Amino acid sequence: MTDNKSPEQASNSEKPWGGRFTEPTDAFVERFTASVGFDQRLYHHDITGSIAHATMLAAVGVLTNEERDTILEGLKAVKADIEAGTFQWSVSLEDVHMNIEARLTDRIGVTGKKLHTGRSRNDQVATDIRLYLRDEIDVIAEELKRLQAGLLNLAEREADTIMPGFTHLQTAQPVTFGHHLLAWYEMLVRDGERLQDCRKRVNVMPLGAAALAGTTYPIDRAMTAKLLGFDRASENSLDSVSDRDFAIEFCSFAALLMTHLSRFSEELVLWTCAQFDFIDLPDRFCTGSSIMPQKKNPDVPELVRGKTGRVNGHLISLLTLMKGQPLAYNKDNQEDKEPLFDTVDTVKGCLRAYADMVPAITAKADNMRVAAKRGFSTATDLADYLVKKGMPFRDAHEVVGRSVAFGVEQKRDLSDMTLAELQSFSGIISEDVFDVLTLEGSVQARDHLGGTAPTQVRAAVKRARNALKQG
């Protein structure tokens, strides 16, 4: 059997394309050009595509029903060998497609050689990758929803918890922790929409394009597309075998998703440090120090933050891979798989980690509240109060600026000043000013769609849950 020979022993006569060649492939070149070490993960999709292809060939009369049945049973047996771990992958057979076809022919004889009628490895691999990516997109979409559901639960639980909102990482205005979490949720909503939009372009079947120009056999591409669950068959054979836009688009989605997870991670890392101390992460998502016994390091968020660069790199890799290629297929495209596969694995791992971790986050509400009182976070509320009393906004801005300067000098928040002190900056200030200078008054006043008021947070959670169920 071919699989029992080393790459150095294999001859070109054993390769499906070997008839043209007069000397064996150089042993190093054979190893250098082989992809079976990483593309064997496509075995399930390769066999699924071959089953559909053989079924279609029989329907149009290219294969007999008996040949079809023999091929289908043989493919199922090969799949069983792979899943049982008894299949020996051969570098000399280059890739997953030729390995499976060779094993099929070993099992069922000359009928196995008929399977490749009317197709090429070019349209075969393009189909396999689309089938693979479609399945992985569906898995990723479910993990994304699981993370979204966890965020919604946490946001609802912390709808009344007040924390400082930041711009430039400086205290700006008080918000609720629930509102902050819903900002993360909105990022993930856009990610989910991009993922589903990407899936539409993944779910187009290139099989039937053959090497680049189509085939002379009377194939029924609509039938094959239906068997494989594709929305439609591709329109142009040249584009079909050379297009990798769908992989680039997926990696673009992944880069944005990872950017969002990285931003979440940065905040979680900050919030767990002693200087913030806003939240606590469960021990099972953290590690310690080999030398400092007091340390509890937020390794999961840090690692997710680090993996973002890895995914961004894969996106650039695929863009660069495709930028100089003429039509149609080129061997360059073998380099599409490792960046794509690693992107899929990385995204799935990061989403799983976050979907498990987020629901277990504990908010330290007292610490958040103390931090929200620092930095004059209700200054804008005082300016709005003055405007509602009839003062032009720019004048109100000046008044509040002077009152803040006084507070800095006295080391006192606006809400801690006396009425007389506040009236020294403007005579229109009255006792009701303290209703807007409290943290609760500030967040509750922003009671509109998209605002931070607890009632709005709960309403937003309800809408989001309904949308998540429908999606």
Q: What does the pLDDT read at residue 23?
A: 74
DSSP, residue by residue, 370-383: HHHHTTTTTHHHHH
DSSP helix/strand/coil, 432: helix
- 304 token code pair: 């997710």
- Output the six-digit token pair for 138: 């569906």
- 412 — phi, psi (to 5°)? -135, 140
Pairwise CA distance, residues 34 & 17, whole Å: 14
Number of continuous H segments (helices) and E segments (strands) in the chain = 19, 6
Among 90, 265, 289, 426, the one annotated catalytic: 289
Give the whole-angstrom CA distance, residue 240 versus residue 210: 9
- pLDDT, tens only, 80-92: 999 999 999 999 9
What averages of pLDDT result for each successive group of 10 residues across the chain (471 residues)? 40 60 77 91 98 98 98 98 97 96 97 98 98 98 98 98 96 96 98 98 98 98 98 98 98 98 98 97 90 89 97 98 96 96 98 97 97 91 94 95 94 92 94 92 95 98 97 78
289 flagged as catalytic: yes
**Measured in whole angstroms, how far is the alpha carbon of residue 439 from the centre of its chain?**
37
pLDDT of residue 4: 42
- The pLDDT tens digits of the residues spanning 387-414 come to 999 999 999 999 999 999 999 999 999 9
Q: What is the pLDDT of residue 3?
A: 42
3-state DSSP helix/strand/coil % of the chain, to nearest 5: 70, 5, 25
Q: Is 11 a catalytic residue?
A: no
Active-site position among 13, 168, 290, 448: 168
Residue ranges and CATH numbers for the domains of the chain are 22-117 (1.10.275.10), 122-159+171-208+238-369 (1.20.200.10), 374-470 (1.10.40.30)
Q: List the beta bridge partners of residue 279.
A: 363
Is the pTM value of this prediction over 0.75?
yes
Q: Are 400 and 437 in contact (CB under 8 A)?
A: no
Instruction: Report the distance separating Cα 204 and Cα 461, nearest Å.
Output: 36
Helix (H) or strand (E) holding 173: strand 170-176
